[in-house]
């Protein structure tokens, strides 16, 4: 998928509207607790400044449901951006209102304006043509660098591309290079690790990856649906009874395709859903009633680590245990560590909780690429077309 980037278009001295993904976590006092997404936008912003552009940034934050809500204001982002760029970021009080129009008219080359949260307008998520047109009228060129929102057909991700020349920023270029490269032309053996709670969240991804990978390792809550599908009891573990036939079909498909589908052979179980619950490790076929599976066991960790040592390309999406509780984070941390030790393989972390787990383990610098989009990277791995990328100009 070859899309034009900021390097393929004449930007010098132009007014450029950039869609970023500044949907960052905030604490109750409105302080940013993780600035990864802001840092990820810096290369594109700096490139535009070097080219003497007037830069207008827009993003959403949280789910304000189409109305102004101070709790979801982008003010903390403006402050953090100013700190990181060592340059004042001007903030507008609205999105397409009088304050924005005035500030855009006054914006000089080399200056940055951040618009208020685009989702303060219901028209944003409706991809309303009039709203898109008003947003586009602020600039001469549109750059999408919000991979985390590229699976949404909203005004600021798709609508504005109807009215302006549209190209990608460096972050989307990087996501397409690594995720796209892994799917289209991976160095083999190509392995995928899929975790998370439910099979239903990952059906499309499992189905799509079975066409491409050499080995698929399953962990997390979804493993128990596969156990039950083979006729074993799973106690109180998460299990989607209505997906048992599907789990059987996926196991059958793996066989037909010659893909090595690996499931846990032991599991760490707990009595209750709480950090300090009583726990023990049992074989995958012997989960007692009244207990719940929360992590992969030691034998599974060893088995998965041994398999991963052979890998040349690995995609990981979803933790393999309840990593929020320390005693059930052992499997997820072990997978992160195993990937960090693969010095001659491409390791791609598919956003969301897996990215959070890698960061929590302090291993983010040891991975080839950590995706900034949870839902977007899932849909991309599934082979779906992402509207926010489809609308950009082809090379």
Q: Is the pLDDT of residue 353 over 70?
A: yes
The stretch 124-138 carries a mean pLDDT of 98
Domains and CATH numbers, the chain: 6-174 (3.40.50.1260), 186-381 (3.40.50.1260)
- Confidence band for 1, pLDDT divided at 50, 70 and 90: low
Segment 36-70, tens digit of pLDDT = 899 999 999 999 999 999 999 999 999 999 999 99
Query: What is the reported pLDDT for 87?
Result: 97
3 state SS of 282:
strand
Q: What is the mean pLDDT of residues 121-132?
A: 97
Residue 355 has pLDDT above 80, yes or no: yes
- Would you state the structure tokens that stand for residue 35, as one six-digit string? 């600035």
Give the separation between CA 109 and CA 251, rounded to whole angstroms. 58
Name which residue leads in pLDDT, 157 or 202: 157
Q: How confident is the model at residue 182 (pLDDT cuts 50, 70, 90)?
A: confident
- Other C-beta atoms lying within 10 Å of the C-beta of residue 159: 26
Q: What is the number of residues in the chain? A: 395
- Summarize the confidence of residues 235-260 as an average pLDDT: 96
Name the band, by pLDDT with cuts 50, 70 and 90, for residue 183: confident
Average pLDDT, the chain: 95
Tell me the per-residue pLDDT of 299-321, one tens digit each, with 9 for 90 and over.
999 999 999 999 999 999 999 99
CA distance 263 to 299: 11
The pLDDT value given to residue 361: 87
Contact predicate 371/176, CB 8 Å: no
Residues 67-85, mean pLDDT to the nearest whole number:
97
* Residues designated as active site: 37, 198, 352, 375
Dihedrals φ, ψ of 344, to 5°?
Answer: -115, 30
Rounded average pLDDT over 94-122: 97
**pLDDT over 90 at 203, yes or no:** no
């Amino acid at each position: 998928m070859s899309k034009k980037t900021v390097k393929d278009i004449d930007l010098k001295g132009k007014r450029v509207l950039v869609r970023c993904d500044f949907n960052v976590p905030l604490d109750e006092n409105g302080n940013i607790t993780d600035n990864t997404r802001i840092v990820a936008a810096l290369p594109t912003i700096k490139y535009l400044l070097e080219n003497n552009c007037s830069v207008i940034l827009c993003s959403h934050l949280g789910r304000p449901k189409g109305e102004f809500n101070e709790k979801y204001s982008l003010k903390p982002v403006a402050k953090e951006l100013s700190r990181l760029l060592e340059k004042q970021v001007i903030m507008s009080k609205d999105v397409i209102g009088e304050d924005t129009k005035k500030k855009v008219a006054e914006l000089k080359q080399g200056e940055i304006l951040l618009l208020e949260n685009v989702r303060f307008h219901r028209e944003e998520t409706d991809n309303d043509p009039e709203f898109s047109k008003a947003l586009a009228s602020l600039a001469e060129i549109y750059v999408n660098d919000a991979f985390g929102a590229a699976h949404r057909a909203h005004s600021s991700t798709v609508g504005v591309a109807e009215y302006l020349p549209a190209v990608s920023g460096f972050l989307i270029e990087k996501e397409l290079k690594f995720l796209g490269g892994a799917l289209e032309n991976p160095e083999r053996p190509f392995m995928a690790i899929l975790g998370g709670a439910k099979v239903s969240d990952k059906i499309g991804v499992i189905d799509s990856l079975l066409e491409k990978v050499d080995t698929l390792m399953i962990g997390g809550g979804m493993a128990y649906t596969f156990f039950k599908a083979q006729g074993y009891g799973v106690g109180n573990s998460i299990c989607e009874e209505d997906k048992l036939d599907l789990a059987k079909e996926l196991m059958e498909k793996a066989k037909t395709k010659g893909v090595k589908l690996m499931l846990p052979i032991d599991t760490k179980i707990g009595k209750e859903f709480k950090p300090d619950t009583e726990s023990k490790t049992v074989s995958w076929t012997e989960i007692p009633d009244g207990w719940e599976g929360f992590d992969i066991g030691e034998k599974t960790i060893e088995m998965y680590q041994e398999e991963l040592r052979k890998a040349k390309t690995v995609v990981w999406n979803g933790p393999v245990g309840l990593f929020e509780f320390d005693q059930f984070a052992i499997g997820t941390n072990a997978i992160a560590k195993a990937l960090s030790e693969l010095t001659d393989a491409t390791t791609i972390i598919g956003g969301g909780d897996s990215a959070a787990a890698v960061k929590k383990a302090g291993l983010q610098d040891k991975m080839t690429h950590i995706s900034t989009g949870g839902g977007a990277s899932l849909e991309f791995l599934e082979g779906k077309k992402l509207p926010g990328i489809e609308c950009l100009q082809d090379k």
